[in-house]
Amino acid sequence: MTIKHLFTLTPQELDVIQQVNEKLQRAEVADIQREKIVSSEIGVMIKADTLGSYEALLGEIQKVVPPEISVSFFAGGAGEVTEVDIKNISSAKHAFIVGFHTKVKKGALDLAVRFNVEVRMFDIIYEAIDWVKAEFQKLVPKKIVREELGKLLVLKTFGSSSAGRLIGGRVREGRVVSDARFEIMRQGESVGQGSIASLQKNRIPVRELSSGEEGGLLVHAPKSIEERDILVFFYEREA
């Protein structure tokens, strides 16, 4: 249809064209939303007895989403939890349906187990919020904190075997502990990491060496260790 023809259309015909355009735009938005849902890691759906309860609970749960994670809120609303709800949210890796003053329809629970969707019903709004908040916290990526213990100067290397690599060294600062990991530093650059299989002092197994002490270490390390390397020993723990 040309621009010239548009000016000859009646108001009713123009309304029809406008409605068609709006439907096409809504369809495009829906397609984009579906694409986002497919790639969702964490999905939440709220079902409640009334629309007012649904909106209130949805608003409160959105407030407790930790900044470290991204949550997709699937379309819920007023009514019981149905099999369609389960199927809609099952695309999320971690899927939660929170019901408030409502029920789960027959067959939906079995489908939830099949699709690994967590469904919880609540009668008190703050209990629902607390439960969701706790589930969110479980999904927050753990931060790993490194605690440096000490540094050892490699004085001698004695070759390697299937049991590990044998080296001798002196603790320059701090301490060396038998269950710690280490970073291999060569000329100020990290060249790899490793762990201790056995720690000895005067050929006697010990748990640790202190600053100034010398000892022998049987270590596991994918990279070779050379004389004059510095081994930086550390623990890693979740913050």
Choose the most confident range, by mean pLDDT, from 18-22, 47-51, 235-239: 47-51
Question: What letter represents residue 191's amino acid?
Answer: V
Q: What is the pTM of this model?
A: 0.52
Q: What average pLDDT does the chain have?
A: 85
The tens digit of pLDDT for each residue in 84-109 reads 999 999 999 999 999 999 999 988 99
| pLDDT bracket for residue 18 (50, 70, 90) | low
Cα(155)–Cα(128) distance, rounded to whole angstroms?
61
CATH architecture for residues 144-238: Beta Barrel (2.40)
Backbone phi and psi for residue 232, each to the nearest 5 degrees, phi listed first: -100, 115
Q: Where are the domains of the chain?
A: 40-139, 144-238
Whether the predicted pLDDT of 34 surpasses 90: no
pLDDT of residue 6: 35
Instruction: Kindly state the average pLDDT of the residues 181-191.
Output: 94
Give percent of the chain above pLDDT 90.
72
Cα(44)–Cα(131) distance, rounded to whole angstroms?
12
User: Which CATH code is given to the segment(s) 40-139?
Assistant: 3.40.50.10050
